[in-house]
């Protein structure tokens, strides 16, 4: 597992329940500093061990004056480490160091005009005296206390930013991490560069060098690594990084389960068969998977059968590889956070680890996760640095059970073929319109619904296709994409004219929550 080098002293982001906490960490990394998310109640002793460059206290839904409101270890303020409090984090900082926080009659949710009252402050270097920021608060710092100097305000929030008079402690009532605050990235950069003295060494080139060294050290001079390829970007980049470190000692196993997108098998074979020194084994298990799914309509039962079949197929192939002692997984940093996979991670577990769970133990392999420090956008940049084709790096996420969870109802070869054709047309129209990379995920779903239509002079009674496209940064929440009507019209026309058996196309405008991104 790659760990940051000593020059990459981490920025610790203390999580107080903010919906933007991962976004804060990503924005810090975009400024070439290594950021990691930790529990809000991390102890001062543990912080000393981690030797951070800075602490950032996130926002959160609580009020600091409530009995059960989350607080940090008060000893953190005595460590002489630069601290930036954001929203709830600012209120917490001010309250802890002598200020007073109260509910306010004028709540601010959305855009607000910020007036910088201390332009010479390091935090606001290069920021206009008047600028737009994104607010989301009902409480305010009523009295910052004698220790803090107000350095910005809005029309209804006199204390919208503060600086401690004697310590390297700052607070922002607004959210600099969101795109709705145009100068937010500059403000965070000023904190890192001008207050913390960040060396700016968190880059993909540096990550590759450290990751390669870590992989070589873990695997040793003779060990071999098995890497399961799914066709998605995470496993592809994981395999490419391993190959950079170990060359032919990496064996990639790609299981064709018959549930792949159009062209998936060929794309993987080209990327790793022709342009990589890794050994690629393609296992044709289509009949086996489709047989296991015959007659099954319950989505959970589909997942269970696909999972069991995959383990059996993968286990048989992996055990035939001599000297293989390691199994690689494309685990990403959000997976680590959400599964509680780190002792310092926030306590609330949002979901169970969703990668190839159970395989290392069942196969007797040691697990290796070279991407576990990275966010998805960093993985894509890493893939490009490693020479993977853009068509593979920018593929939209794909569920582990494949098209089985996008064919609602029974999965058959005929229904899969219909879905593949419709999905390919939809994605092609997004590419033509230049929208593919702006969208977090897009796909088609074959519904178990037939409806009446008219084609030519005859009535039809055929299937419906639902199109789904979402905008998201972290896939934990997502909003439906406002696609241009002409793009949807072209996709619908092509699907109905080209895909036999489809006479109706609908567009899903459900966000997550309340819905999920996938339908099953």
Catalytic residues, by residue number, are 87, 175, 177
Strand duo 458-471 + 502-507: pairing? parallel
CA distance 246 to 235: 16
Compute CA distances 478 → 133, 160, 217, 469, 474, whole Å: 22, 29, 39, 10, 8
Q: Is 361 exposed, middle or buried (0-12, 13-18, 19+ CB in 10 A)?
A: exposed
Residue identified by tokens 């960093």 is 378
Size of the chain, expressed as the number of residues it contains: 520
Q: What is the 3-state secondary structure (H, E, C) of 94-128?
A: HHHCCCEEEEEEEEEEEEEEEEECCCCCHHHCCCC
Residue identified by tokens 């940064």 is 473
Strands (E), 128-179: 130-143, 148-153, 161-164, 169-172
Structure tokens at 235: 């496993």
Q: Is 368 exposed, middle or buried (0-12, 13-18, 19+ CB in 10 A)?
A: buried
Query: Is 290 within 8 Å of 258 (Cβ atoms)?
Result: yes
Spell 216-248 as b/e; 16+ CB within 10 A means b.
eebbeeebbbbbbbbbbbbbbbbbbbbbbbbee
From the CB of residue 12, how many other CB atoms can be counted at a distance below 10 Å? Answer: 26
From the list 234, 253, 243, the residue with the least C-alpha distance to 382 is 234
According to DSSP, the residues that pair with 141 across neighbouring strands are: 101
CA distance 162 to 252: 53
CA distance 111 to 118: 21
Q: What is the 3-state secondary structure (H, E, C) of 218-240?
A: HHCCCCEEEEEECCCHHHHHHHH
Query: Is 174 within 8 Å of 127 (Cβ atoms)?
Result: no
Query: Is 430 within 8 Å of 402 (Cβ atoms)?
Result: no
Compute CA distances 449 → 228, 452, 489, whole Å: 35, 10, 21
Phi, psi of 27 (to 5 degrees): -65, -40
């Amino acid at each position: 597992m790659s760990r940051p080098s000593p020059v990459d002293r981490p920025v610790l982001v203390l999580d107080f329940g903010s919906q933007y906490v991962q976004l804060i960490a990503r924005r810090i990394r975009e400024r070439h500093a290594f950021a990691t998310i930790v529990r809000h109640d991390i102890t001062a002793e543990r912080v000393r061990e981690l030797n951070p460059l800075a602490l950032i206290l996130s926002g959160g839904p609580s009020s600091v004056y409530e009995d059960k409101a989350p607080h940090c270890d008060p000893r953190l303020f005595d460590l002489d480490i630069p601290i930036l409090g954001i929203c709830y984090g600012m209120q917490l900082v001010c309250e802890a160091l002598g200020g007073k926080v109260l509910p306010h009659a004028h709540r601010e949710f959305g855009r607000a005009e910020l007036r910088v009252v201390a332009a010479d402050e390091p935090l606001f270097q290069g920021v206009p005296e008047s600028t737009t920021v994104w607010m989301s608060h009902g409480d305010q710092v009523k009295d910052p206390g004698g220790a803090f100097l107000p350095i910005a305000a809005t029309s209804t929030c006199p204390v919208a930013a503060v600086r401690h008079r004697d310590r390297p402690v700052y607070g922002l009532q607004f959210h600099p991490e969101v795109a709705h605050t145009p100068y937010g990235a500059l403000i965070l950069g000023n904190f890192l560069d001008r207050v913390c003295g960040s060396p700016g060494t968190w880059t993909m080139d540096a990550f590759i060098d450290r990751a390669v060294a870590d992989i070589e050290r873990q695997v040793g001079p003779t060990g071999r690594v098995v890497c399961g390829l799914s066709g998605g970007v995470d496993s592809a980049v994981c395999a490419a990084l391993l190959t950079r470190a170990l060359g032919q000692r990496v064996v990639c196993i790609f299981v064709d389960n018959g549930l792949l997108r159009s062209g998936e098998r060929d794309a993987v074979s080209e990327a790793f068969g022709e342009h990589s020194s890794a050994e690629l084994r393609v296992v044709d298990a289509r009949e086996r998977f489709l047989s296991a799914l015959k007659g099954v309509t319950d989505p959970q039962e589909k997942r269970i059968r696909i999972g069991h079949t995959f383990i059996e197929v993968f286990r048989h192939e992996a055990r035939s590889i001599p000297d293989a002692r390691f199994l690689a997984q494309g685990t990403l940093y959000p997976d680590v956070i959400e599964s509680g996979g780190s002792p310092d991670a926030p306590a609330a577990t949002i979901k169970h680890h969703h990668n190839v769970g159970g395989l290392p133990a069942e196969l007797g392999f040691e697990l290796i996760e070279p991407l576990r420090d990275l966010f998805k956008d960093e993985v894509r940049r890493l893939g490009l640095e490693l020479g993977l084709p853009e068509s593979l790096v920018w593929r939209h996420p794909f569920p582990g059970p494949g098209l089985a969870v996008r064919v609602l109802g029974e999965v058959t070869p005929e229904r899969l073929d219909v879905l593949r054709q419709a999905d390919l047309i939809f994605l092609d129209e997004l590419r033509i319109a230049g929208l593919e990379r702006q969208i977090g995920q897009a796909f088609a779903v074959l519904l178990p619904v037939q409806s009446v239509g008219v084609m030519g002079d005859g009535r039809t009674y055929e299937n419906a296709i639902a199109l789904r496209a979402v905008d998201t940064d972290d896939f934990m929440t997502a909003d439906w994409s406002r696609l241009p009507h002409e793009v949807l019209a072209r996709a619908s026309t092509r699907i109905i004219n080209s895909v036999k058996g489809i006479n109706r196309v609908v567009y899903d405008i459900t966000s997550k929550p309340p819905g999920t991104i996938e339908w099953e």
